[in-house]
């Protein structure tokens, strides 16, 4: 019998490792109670941003989408509304990052990308909430609250990512 083995590259290993960290952060967040339902720091996005700077956009998309699928499986939310919200947020923020990575690097750093991604993330989620989960005009009243949270946590995650990247020792992941 011939044993087939999937050939993995070094990059695959990096993606797997980083996705695992993102999943871990997602899990940690899942057990922290939130004062307002739906408002979460989005710590896993630190990993997403870090990967964008270190490995480029393709790896970022992998890590982000893997994180969404794996986390929802671990939390028992796969294909539930929570999963759909998570996915729509991740897809929209990836789109924002894809556009934002073309901004001049000299003046726009991780903080910019983090804030833009956070806004896109909540934008995608609110869009889905409005279209599918709560098709009611009252949803607009929640927008300012979520936008404030997105700005605050986007800023926080951006600073953390900036620190991770700029204080990186040479020859390190």
Partner 1 sequence: MRMFNLQPYLKRLECKRISAYFLPGDMMVLAIGVLGVLYLFELLWSTEHATKVQIRLADKIYATYSLKLQREVHVPGKLGDTVINIANGKARFAKSPCQGQYCVHQAWLSLAGQAAICLPNQVSLELLGENKPYDSLNY
Instruction: Number of residues interacting with partner 1: please give it, by CB under 8 A.
Output: 38
For the chain, the 3-state helix, strand and coil shares in percent, each to the nearest 5, are 75, 0, 25
Closest distance to partner 1 from the beta carbon of 125 (Å): 15
Which member of 27, 66, 75, 159 binds partner 1 (CB under 8 A)? Answer: 159
Q: Check binding of 167 to partner 1 (CB under 8 A).
A: yes
Q: Which residues contact 58 (CB under 8 A, 6 or more apart)?
A: none
By CB under 8 A, what part of segment 80-109 binds partner 1? 103-104, 106-109
Q: Check binding of 116 to partner 1 (CB under 8 A).
A: yes
Rounded CA gap, 78 and 101, in Å?
A: 30
CA distances from 114 to 46, 129, 155 (A): 8, 22, 7
Rounded CA gap, 38 and 115, in Å?
A: 18
Q: Check binding of 33 to partner 1 (CB under 8 A).
A: no
Number of CB atoms found within 10 A of residue 151's CB: 14
Rounded CA gap, 122 and 25, in Å?
A: 18
By CB under 8 A, what part of segment 135-154 binds partner 1? 136-138, 140-141, 143-144, 147-148, 151, 154
- The helix/strand/coil state of 168 is coil
Nearer to partner 1, 15 or 87 (CB): 15
Which member of 44, 111, 122, 129 binds partner 1 (CB under 8 A)? Answer: 111
Point out which residues bind partner 1 (CB under 8 A).
17, 20-21, 103-104, 106-112, 115-116, 119, 136-138, 140-141, 143-144, 147-148, 151, 154-155, 158-160, 162-164, 166-169, 172
């Amino acid at each position: 019998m011939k044993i087939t083995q999937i050939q993995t590259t070094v990059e695959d290993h990096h993606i797997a490792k980083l996705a695992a960290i993102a999943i871990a952060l997602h899990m940690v967040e899942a057990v922290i109670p939130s004062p307002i339902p739906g408002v979460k720091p989005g710590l896993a996005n630190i990993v997403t941003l870090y990967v964008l700077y270190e490995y480029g956009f393709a790896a970022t998309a992998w890590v982000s989408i893997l994180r969404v699928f794996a986390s929802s499986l671990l939390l028992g939310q796969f294909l539930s509304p929570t999963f759909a919200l998570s996915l729509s947020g991740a897809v929209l923020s990836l789109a924002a990052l894809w556009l934002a990575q073309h901004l001049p690097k000299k003046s726009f750093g991780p903080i910019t990308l983090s804030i833009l991604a956070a806004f896109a993330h909540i934008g995608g989620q609110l869009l889905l909430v409005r279209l599918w989960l709560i098709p009611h005009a009252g949803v607009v009243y929640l927008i300012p609250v979520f936008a404030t949270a997105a700005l605050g946590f986007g800023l926080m995650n951006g600073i953390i990512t900036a620190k991770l990247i700029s204080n990186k020792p040479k020859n390190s992941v």
